[in-house]
Amino acid sequence: MTEITRADVCAAAIADAFAEDGEIFGSPMGMLPTLGARLARLTSNPDLVLSDGESLFLGGVPPLGAKADVVEGWIPFPKVFDVVAYGKRHVMMGATQIDVHGNQNISAIGPFDQPKRQLLGVRGAPGNTVNNRTSYWVPRHSSRVFVEQVDIVSGVGPKRAREAGHAASRFNDIHRIVTNLAVLDVKGPDDTLRLRSVHPGVTVDEVLAASGCAIHVDGDVPTTRTPTTEELVLVREVLDPRSLRHREVPEPVTEARA
Amino acid sequence: MSRQPRDKTMTIDEVVGELRSGMTIGIGGWGPRRKPMALVRAILRSDLTDLTLVTWGGADVGLLTRAGKVRKLVYAFVSLDSVPLEPNFQRARQTGTIPEVVELDEGMFQTGLRAAAQRLPFLPMRAGLGSDVLVNNPHIKTVTSPYAGPDGPEELVAVPAMELDVALVHMNRADKHGNATYLGPDPYFDDLFCMAAERAYVTCEQIVDTAGLTVDAPVQRLLLSRMMVSGVVETPHGAHFTTCTPDYERDERFQKAYAAAAGGSDEDWAAFEQKFLSGDEAAYQAAVRAFAEEEKR
């Protein structure tokens, strides 16, 4: 079998984020999260409920970009918001910024009144983060993404949820942040970012240097596990035979060693 | 003589003739999906101004803000999906040309429409708590539950009703009375828009007999009842360049050309306007056909 790529490691780390969810709606946003959630559905969590990202619950597990073969339900946007409030959902969103307290921003960069760069808008991030489990996927870990304080709090981290009162903190559950370098959570002191693992070939110092805010390190940081042979076959042969994942996470260039 | 419900068929221009500057207008669909674009284009051609738009934003926001028609924008996102960031909207925000902006969580947006549809001043929900939505919108208040939960009464967001003067939506089929079906994957929130509005105008791909609405579609596809609808217009390809599944999908090539012009120089945009937006709806559709022919070559 050929070399395990960084994208393969990310897919397995994302699958692990959904492994313990049981029978809830897994809502991955974007390519790698979709691949990882489908991998979880085929391995660690066969009860996971997945959609086509449009309006259908998938009975089967199609490859990236393919249409649903068997349909097991209907989930148009109005029903998505019902499920958000119902709580049986785990969304993995993107993040233009994440701060030391696990707040996320997808709204705009700069002041809200006249942003330097307008992005999508807050979308469903405020509601997701106070209603159902939320994770984030960061394909390019950098000091522009990981910042002291996000410009516009879209997704709410645990500290702000706590400060906003019981109604906000009751269902706040920021689960994982998976990046192209590492896996983080928000279990550091005072609900701050914490390093859970670094991907094979990445050092703790590299992750810290690539972050614009402090990340708590608890003793020896483990290495993110590599995918099993079964997972590699599923990723390569079944879910992503066209290798789309490597467009989002290109293989890091290793220094030539003579 | 049999008495029939009213015939509400109108033209695009008659609908726009019912609108006034300063009105609050809800636009149905979702981002780049099943938007009443023929009516949006007609508003562009009109001298209407100072509008408040309430919309799941797509090119409707881009076009109307670029034309300086919008005084206040209420949205949760603006996106073209395959082009994630709407260039005209970005430009308007970054140059500060929209005087008032209300950016909400998506669930809050739905709840605000629902409150208006139910003639309530607000509805409580969790979404918004702890986020900058409440910081940037100080007019949105919280409300304390009158019921003591196990951990005391919860303080929730009191999402204010989003009352609309007019709702504009695009459906696949309608009858002349205003009953209408969607045949694509998602109803979006078009029924809520109509119920949140004083008056609702429906454009559609085709007007059929009432019986025809359920000939080849299950009755659950009938999203709009005529009691919610003030006027009906047949506008084939009226959702272009957004989706109107299964009648047609999004025109990705056209959308790309739109986004390139919107994100380009002033001259690029002027050329796009001149080519596509300087005439009436028939001229637009003819220009789109010519564009498709050019692209084939």
In a domain, A254, yes or no: no
Q: What CATH number has the domain bearing residue A136?
A: 3.40.1080.10
Residue A1 lies in a domain: no
Q: Is B108 on the interface with A (CB under 8 A)?
A: yes
pLDDT value of position A1:
54
Does B143 contact A at CB distance below 8 Å?
no
In chain B, where the domains are located: 12-104+162-254, 129-160
pLDDT mean over B215-223: 97
- Summarize pLDDT for A106-117 with one digit per residue, the tens: 999 999 999 999
pLDDT tens digit sequence for B3-40: 899 999 999 999 999 999 999 999 999 999 999 999 99
Length of chain B equals 297
Whether residue A215 lies inside any domain: the answer is: yes
Model confidence, pTM: 0.96
Cβ contact A76–B186 (<8 Å): yes
Mean pLDDT within B181-194: 98
| pLDDT surpasses 60 at B1 | no
- Structural domain containing residue A44: 6-248
Q: Does B85 touch chain A (CB under 8 A)?
A: yes
What does the pLDDT read at residue A106? 98
Measured between beta carbons, the chain B residues lying within 8 angstroms of A161 are 129-130
The mean of the pLDDT values for chain A is 96
* pLDDT score recorded for residue A257: 44
Cβ pair B75, A96 in contact under 8 A:
no
Of B94, B95, B127, the CB nearest to A126: B127
What would the mean pLDDT of A185-208 be, rounded to a whole number?
A: 98
Q: Which residues of A touch B186 (CB under 8 A)?
A: 54-55, 76-77
The Cα diameter of chain B in Å comes to 69
**CB distance B107–A81 less than 8 Å?**
yes
Token pair, residue B143, equals 């409300």
Give residue-wise pLDDT tens across range A30-78: 999 999 999 999 999 999 999 999 999 999 999 999 988 899 999 999 9
Per the CB < 8 A criterion, the answer to whether B57 and A103 are in contact is no
Give the pLDDT confidence of B110-154 residue by residue, as tens digits.
999 999 999 999 999 999 999 999 999 999 999 999 998 888 899
CB contact under 8 A, A168 and B188: no
Domain B12-104+162-254 fold is Glutaconate Coenzyme A-transferase (3.40.1080)
**pLDDT at residue B57 is higher than 60:** yes
Residue of A nearest to B74 (CA): A121
Separation CA A11–CA A248 (nearest Å): 11
Interface pTM, i.e. ipTM = 0.95
The average pLDDT across B166-182 equals: 98
Q: Which residue out of A29, A101, A122 would a mutagenesis test of the B interface target, given it has the greatest number of B Cβ atoms within 10 Å?
A: A122
Decide if B119 touches A, using CB distance below 8 A.
Answer: no
Q: Where are the alpha helices (DSSP H) in A166-210?
A: 166-169, 204-209
CB atoms within 10 A of CB A66: 11
- Output the CA torsion sign for B132, B137, B139, B145: negative
Angle, vertex CA B273, rays to CA B269 and CA B277, nearest 5: 155
Is residue A258 scored above 50 in pLDDT? no
Taking a C-beta distance cutoff of 8 angstroms, is the pair B129, B175 a contact? Answer: no
Q: How many domains is chain A partitioned into structurally?
A: 1
